[in-house]
Chain A
Amino acid sequence: MTETEIGRARRRKEDARLITGRTQWTDNIQVPGLLHVAYLRSPLAHARITRVDVSAARSRPGVVAAFSGQDFAAEQGSLPCAWPVSDDVVIPDHPPMAVDTVRYAGEAVACVIATDRYKAADALDAIEIDYDPLPAVTDMPSALADGSPLVHEAGNKAFTWTFAQGDIEAAFRDAPVVVERTYVQQRLIPTAMEPRAVVAQTDGDSFTLHTSTQIPHVLRVMLAATTGVPEHKLRVIAPDVGGGFGSKLQVTAEEVLGLLIARRLGRPVKWTESRSEGNQTVHHGRDQIQRIALAASAEGVLRGVKVDLLADMGAYLMLVTPGVPLLGAFMYTGIYKMDAYDFACTGVFTTKMPTDAYRGAGRPEATYAIERAMDELAKEIGVDPLEIRRRNWIRHEEFPYATAAGLTYDSGNYEAATERAMALFGYDKLRAEQADRRDRNDPVQLGIGVSTYTEMCGLAPSRVLGSLRYGAGGWEHATVRMLPTGKVEVVTGTSPHGQGHETAWSQIVADALGVPFEDVGVLHGDTASAPRGMDTYGSRSLVVGGIAVLQACERVKEKARTVAAHLLECAPDDLEFTDGAFKVRGTGAAKTIQEVALAVFAAHDLPEGFEPQLDAGSTFDPESFSFPHGTHLCAVEVDTETGMTTIRSYVAVDDVGNVVNPMIVEGQVHGGIAQGIAQALFEEAVYDADGNLLTGTMADYLVPSAADLPTFVTDRTVTPATSNPLGVKGVGEAGTIASTPAVVNAVVDALRPYGVRDVPMPCSPERVWRAIQGGVA
């Protein structure tokens, strides 16, 4: 049998152009007559705008136009929220450019359009604007207190959302052990490598928008609805995009305003954000306060889990802002069995940048809370953190398993992943070293952190999204066409921004159609050439979009089989398809699929009624989510004299089902772990009490680099998903979801002898040091 393409660590087709930058990054795009936009942004978190005068800016050198929010008030509409999660949800009007009130520092209040970016930026100084300051609202509990200043007239509560299954009161009544903790998910800034950029063009009544987005298709629908540009007159192109992590799953003010400015001026305009502008105005992630309570038997067997969540929305509800905590709501039960689960969430408005999806979106938060709390339960019962997990996890023979949170996990093998991780980690030896260091009162203590995670991804079954009130479906489309020369073009509705779809889709097609890997090309990201799609987020591309590619290939193959049978003068059932050729069983007669493609193109001799094209499309709507899982183990050394934490070793054994390209999976796992460690140890978006962002540059917002991270030891177990024909599970977010609790569990474990039971994230040296001081006292 020939080696399959699926499973090979193919080098990525797209990397040469991405790495060298010789590609269409949006900021590279040049158009004749291009103008440049610069935005004036509010220096205040909350204020009424009492006067804006842009006239002086208009007379600055090179300036073509200047506008205030008032200039677009009649046509700019409101930035959309596509996820009205509940009956009580409040979706405030969100003008792309503020007209009378600003509600976060960095909100656009005016703009200048000039012949180059420098002149545009210089002319911002000439805009006169007066503010009447209003009190900032930066903290959720205070925002909900009586008498708090209001972010919006309707109040600071955005929504409440609850879920309950089982008898939670019975679970907690007389429970021998109850562990109750509060964890803070600090606010994070997504920090994609490529800043956002927009180029808007018009030729009268039709528009083309190049934008650094993850969602060209969703964006087109939303922009049509927001701006009134008819959908068929609007082409959205996501050219090569340099990362997103959810931050480009958005309909941004700058995208809407780009179109409006191009329409107003009848000229093309470009805007590219600076990094500090991005820190302020790319939607942020996380920012939740989680109260979690576990009820357990004396042996630590879970009876129930109760979660009460405050989720900071920031100043407005953007595309899926209120849905993020809902995506976590189903994951607080983790990999564990229990009788009852109760979840309540309150969304809260503050005068800060809106939050929205950030790598993992809700699931990292949930996984953190349950995995931290399970360690606390282990401590309470007096057993090893892995033992408490063994007592509670779903055993491999129990799949499919319906969880207390209402999901059905199709497959998994937590025992196998954990056993492999322990072996790679040298778990028992490290525990022995830890005991020794504790005995010796070593100033450098060793901590071991465990995270046995699962997550729900592959967004998503459309009916489930509908039941959660999300505004769209979760299907994905692919078209596969055989070209006359036997090459293959795939049109995908997924929108890669670093994931390697061109490579992975080529591998799927190569196997399905028996063509060389090199003979497959992939088109994506342009609504003119790839008109149908739901784009890329939520670890959905392979498990939804990849399946659409596979199914489209199957349809192409069946069409080709009909033609081959005709040419070979046999029945289609007499043909077997191997190595890219249809062969008549028992004879040597055969037609390659390339020969069939040429025959279809010529159309001289086709079966009766056969249309001369070898194309097929497929739109796949998954029946279920995908549930990758794994065991991550982290060893940290904590210098108790300085508070410095150093990761000594990190082992990740993930089960993402079957793997199309192991190198791509490895890359996702590495990047994911790094981003999760970043939350655990380094990153935090900090606002002061007046609502000023203090981490406006990379000097203060600490993104770790390779120099700050250990070598990751990774391995996989393979428990194929049963919910899709490839048996694959999503991998884009798993590493981020798993790693944050593994690291913080390790830090807290190191500090147990000092009486420490929590260190707020990020576990900076100062926080660790202060925790030690407090713990000793």
Chain B
Amino acid sequence: MIPASFDYVRAESLSEAFQALGADEDAKVLAGGQSLLPLLRLRLAYPATLVDIGRLPELRGVRDEGDHLFIGATTTHDEVLKSPLVQTYCPLVAQATATVADPAVRHRGTFGGSLAHADPAGDLPAVALALDMDLVAGSAEGTRTIPAAEFFLDYLETALAPGELLLGARVPKLGPGWGFHYTKFHRVAQAWAIVGVAAAVRHQDGVIAEGRVALTNMGAVPVRARAAEAGLPGVALDDRTALRAATASADDATDPPSDLHARPDYRRHLARVLTERAIRSAAA
């Protein structure tokens, strides 16, 4: 298919972008286009205007801001996963980003686009949740910060207001003692996750002190597996029975979809098995 017609605005400055977005309720932001263009080509979306933010240098790149990194919205996946700052301080982001689609997509697709698109089958929303990222949004009225836990409202729906643009995210450096792992369970390399697990674990002397788990594609939004997290402190990493018991509730509070690749009961089963494995890998 080919897209229906639309107006195209290439923003030369942030204020121009805000203005263009504010002027048209049906405007959509174009960054890497890796999610948006297929929707246009399949005529599943008919935006009146595309606002291209691809040439705004202030939105691109990774900065060290002390206790956190700031990752600009239009930083490509490839730039993110190769960034020494990300690899050093936020390896979970690098790991998950490396599983996004294929190299061609990763060279065009952007960090912010992946979050703002809010596809629960995307890999980065769960990572944002697991790391408690703060998402920074801007508009003509100014900027505000939205915690990841409040950002994903529904399927492809975020807390961004009309006219608001995602500028980037503050990603906390979790510091020493933490281990990370992102597991993506999918049938072919380029496919979305059937289930994904983002895990962060702080452990000492072989015992888990604290764990965070967020799940990809287990509902309309990424899901934090709070029940499993609650059972993790005190579990010895080599005690498989205890770990399995703690992660048996990983699928609590999920509402997994049913599609060609998996029905809900199977997704729940996978969430449990993969959470246990992700925790072990994170602590390894």
Contact = CB atoms under 8 A, between A and B. Distances in A.
Interface string B16-45: 000000000000000000000010011000
Given A641-B273, A642-B274, A766 B261 contact: yes
A122 B191 contact: no
Nearest to B259: A700
A665 to B, nearest CB: 27
Given A642-B270, A764-B187, A277 B1 contact: yes
Interface stretch (A95-103, A412-420, A652-660, A702-710): A702-710
B161 interface: no
A464 interface: no
A74 B188 CA distance: 48
A113 to B, nearest CB: 16
B266 A708 contact: no
Nearest to A117: B2
Given A702-B187, A707-B189, A118 B262 contact: no
B119 to A, nearest CB: 11
A416 B1 CA distance: 51
Interface in A726-775: 764-766, 769-770
A766 B5 CA distance: 41
Given A122-B5, A695-B260, A699-B192, A766 B266 contact: yes
A187 to B, nearest CB: 13
Interface in B1-21: 1-5
Interface in A679-728: 682, 686, 694-695, 697, 699-700, 702-705, 707-708
Contact of A708 (B2, B38, B188, B262): B188
A441 interface: no
A687 to B, nearest CB: 11
Nearest to A697: B42
Interface residues of B, number: 26
A766 B188 contact: no
Given A276-B42, A642-B270, A766-B263, A703 B2 contact: no
Interface in B241-279: 260-263, 266, 269-270, 273-274
Contacts of A766: 261-263, 266
| B interface majority secondary structure | loop
A251 B182 CA distance: 49
Contacts of A642: 185, 270, 273-274
Contacts of A643: 266
A703 B187 CA distance: 10
B260 A121 contact: no
B188 A699 contact: no
A644 interface: yes
B190 interface: yes
Given A642-B270, A695-B260, A700-B260, A682 B187 contact: yes
Contact of A702 (B41, B191, B274): B191
Contacts of A644: 185
A444 to B, nearest CB: 12
Interface string A321-344: 000000000000000000000000
A686 B260 CA distance: 8
A467 interface: no
A274 interface: yes
Contact of A765 (B38, B187, B192): B187
Contacts of B67: none
Interface in A489-516: none
Contacts of B1: 121, 274, 276-277
A118 B185 contact: no
B188 A704 contact: yes
Instruction: Select the residue from B261, B266, B273 with max chain A CB neighbours within 10 A.
Output: B266
Given A642-B270, A686-B260, A766-B262, A705 B188 contact: yes
Given A277-B1, A770-B266, A682 B188 contact: yes
B273 A122 contact: no
Contacts of A641: 273
Interface string B106-139: 0000000000000000000000000000000000
Nearest to B185: A642
Contacts of A694: 260
B102 interface: yes
A117 B262 CA distance: 37
Contacts of B266: 643, 766, 769-770
A705 B2 CA distance: 25
Contacts of B269: 769
A686 B259 CA distance: 11
Nearest to B121: A699
B194 interface: yes
Contact of B102 (A274, A699, A700, A705): A705
A121 B2 contact: yes
Contacts of A117: 2
Interface string B160-198: 000000000000000000000000010111111010000
Contacts of B260: 686, 694-695, 700
Contacts of B270: 642
Contacts of B189: 705, 707-708
A686 to B, nearest CB: 6
Contact of B5 (A118, A276, A697, A705): A118
A700 B266 CA distance: 18
A769 B191 CA distance: 20
Contacts of A770: 266
A770 B263 CA distance: 11
A446 B255 CA distance: 34
Given A121-B2, A770-B266, A765 B188 contact: no
Nearest to B266: A766
Nearest to A707: B189
Nearest to A641: B273
Contacts of B102: 705, 707
Interface string A257-298: 000000000000000001011000000000000000000000
A700 B274 CA distance: 23
Contact of A764 (B3, B38, B192, B261): B261
The CB with the most chain A CB atoms within 10 A, among B187, B190, B270, is that of: B187
Nearest to A643: B266
A765 B274 CA distance: 14
Contacts of A708: 188-189
Nearest to A118: B2
Nearest to A120: B2
Nearest to B267: A766
B238 to A, nearest CB: 17
A564 B191 CA distance: 65
Nearest to B103: A707
A766 B261 CA distance: 7
Contacts of B191: 699, 702
Contacts of B41: 274
Nearest to A683: B188
Interface string A597-631: 00000000000000000000000000000000000
Given A642-B185, A704-B188, 20 more contacts: A118-B2, A121-B2, A121-B4, A122-B4, A274-B41, A277-B1, A642-B274, A644-B185, A682-B187, A686-B260, A695-B260, A697-B38, A699-B191, A705-B102, A707-B102, A707-B188, A765-B187, A765-B194, A765-B262, A769-B269
Interface of A: 117-118, 121-122, 274, 276-277, 641-644, 682, 686, 694-695, 697, 699-700, 702-705, 707-708, 764-766, 769-770
Interface of B: 1-5, 38, 41-42, 102, 185, 187-192, 194, 260-263, 266, 269-270, 273-274
30 contacts: A117-B2, A118-B2, A118-B3, A121-B4, A274-B1, A274-B2, A277-B1, A642-B270, A642-B273, A643-B266, A644-B185, A682-B188, A697-B38, A697-B42, A699-B192, A702-B191, A703-B188, A705-B189, A705-B190, A707-B102, A707-B188, A707-B190, A765-B185, A765-B187, A766-B261, A766-B262, A766-B266, A769-B266, A769-B269, A770-B266
Question: What 10 pairs across the A-B complex have the smallest Cβ distances?
Answer: A707-B189, A274-B1, A708-B188, A702-B188, A766-B266, A641-B273, A766-B262, A704-B188, A121-B2, A702-B187
